[in-house]
Amino acid sequence: MKHKIVIAVTALNAIDSPGPGVAVIRAIRECKDFDVRIIGLSYESLEPGLYMHDLVDKTYQIPYPTAGTDALLGRLQYIHEMENLELIIPNFDAELFNFIKLRDTLKKMGIATFMPDLDQFEARDKMKLLDFGKKHGFDVPEDKIIHEFRELAKIEEDFDFPLVVKGKFYDAIIVNTMEQAEKAYYKILSKWGLPIIVQEFIKGTEINIAALGDGDGNAISVIPMRKLYITDKGKAWAGITLDDETYIELARKFIKVTKWRGGCELEVMLSNDGKPYIMEVNPRFPAWIYLTAAAGQNQPASLVKMALGQKVEPFTEYEVGKIFVRYAWDLITDIHEFQKISGNGEL
């Protein structure tokens, strides 16, 4: 019999801007190389993934990232006593800093992770992306970091409209006038705080690349995807795998120069003159990561193997033209389940 591996996964929300957790779990469960017990880690009581009992065996609530590392560690110690965790896969940008800071402590507890280190994590930060691009020879849009509202009024001196107004963790709003820019500023400020990034708008075709690095500069898997349907928040609701060496080499170069450890997503805009601009680098798997498993390169399962010390050879092929289409599904549960997770923090 196979040893049952206990893996904790975050980001169980599956709303119109979904977290990657459910997709990561689906991909892991699809791998026949190991048997798993999945422990969900949730922040809110209505994250759909925690009620998907065919995917998640048990869920525990954990404190919000703003509570800090001590609060997170205390909760993880309790969960570890209950479940004997062997691996944690965090999937939200905002939580990664705390998990990275706790990596060595978790290792001493017997809990593996497979994440970038703090230098890697900070180098690709939205607020440092332009400098990162100039240092390593990547095309990156010009930007300006806004620390207070009056700086926004001067933005027309440096940029032409349209522009992209971005939060430090999430959200990006395209604006065409100063009035729209001010509204976007306050909208993002209320959700994510300061600073706010104002970025040059690049007109072209948007491509997303899911990649997995081994921490030594080798790309284990790279799969580019073009969005076929986009929500009003700019999220992919449908996409198709592409065969384009330009994007594959771009991701390989990123992983090589950073020695990236774990999963990541490169958001790329292919400009009308043929330049691939890196718009963002997300330091975790994207919400569409299950497409990599469907196309023949199961990135979440490969991450599990590497985290547990197994050697994984780089993939060389994947199925081109594989399409995903996201959909809404009414998941029915009972009030007592909601009460359990809300009252006890466990389900």
Q: What is the C-alpha separation between 80 and 7, in angstroms, rounded?
A: 11
- Residue 304 inside a domain? The answer is yes
Contact predicate 50/62, CB 8 Å: no
Q: Which amino acid is at 18?
A: P
pLDDT of res. 1 = 58
**Tokens 């729209």 appear where?**
180
292 plus 226 within the same structural domain: yes
- Token reading at 44: 């809110």
176 plus 110 within the same structural domain: no
Q: What is the C-alpha separation between 323 and 325, in angstroms, rounded?
A: 7
270: pLDDT strictly greater than 90: yes
- Residues contacting 55, CB < 8 A, separation 6+: 22, 25, 26, 29, 38, 49
74: pLDDT strictly greater than 90: yes
172 plus 226 within the same structural domain: no
Tens digit of each residue's pLDDT (9 = 90 or more) over 75-91 = 999 999 999 999 999 99
pLDDT of res. 15 = 75
Predicted model pTM: 0.92
242 plus 149 within the same structural domain: no
71 plus 82 within the same structural domain: yes
108 plus 154 within the same structural domain: no
308 plus 340 within the same structural domain: no
Closest CA to 20 of 28, 8, 11, 9: 11
The residue-averaged pLDDT of 249-253 equals: 97
> What is the distance, to the nearest Å, from the Cα of residue 281 to the centroid of all Cα atoms in its chain?
9
**Which residues face 8 on adjacent strands?**
39, 88
- Residue 154 inside a domain? The answer is yes
- Residue 280 inside a domain? The answer is yes
Q: What is the C-alpha separation between 256 and 118, in angstroms, rounded?
A: 17
pLDDT of res. 156 = 85
- Residue 133 inside a domain? The answer is no
The residue-averaged pLDDT of 170-194 equals: 90
Tens digit of each residue's pLDDT (9 = 90 or more) over 189-208 = 998 888 999 999 999 999 99
Q: What is the CATH number of the domain that holds 170?
A: 3.30.1490.20
pLDDT of res. 172 = 86
Q: What is the CATH number of the domain that holds 254?
A: 3.30.470.20
Last residue of a domain, one of 158, 173, 200: 200
Tens digit of each residue's pLDDT (9 = 90 or more) over 281-292 = 999 999 999 999
- Residue 283 inside a domain? The answer is yes
79 plus 12 within the same structural domain: yes
Number of domains forming the structure of the chain:
3
- Residue 92 inside a domain? The answer is yes
93 plus 81 within the same structural domain: yes
181 plus 282 within the same structural domain: no
- Residue 131 inside a domain? The answer is no
The residue-averaged pLDDT of 320-337 equals: 93
- Residue 97 inside a domain? The answer is yes
209 plus 150 within the same structural domain: no
Range of the domain at 267: 203-325
163 plus 221 within the same structural domain: no
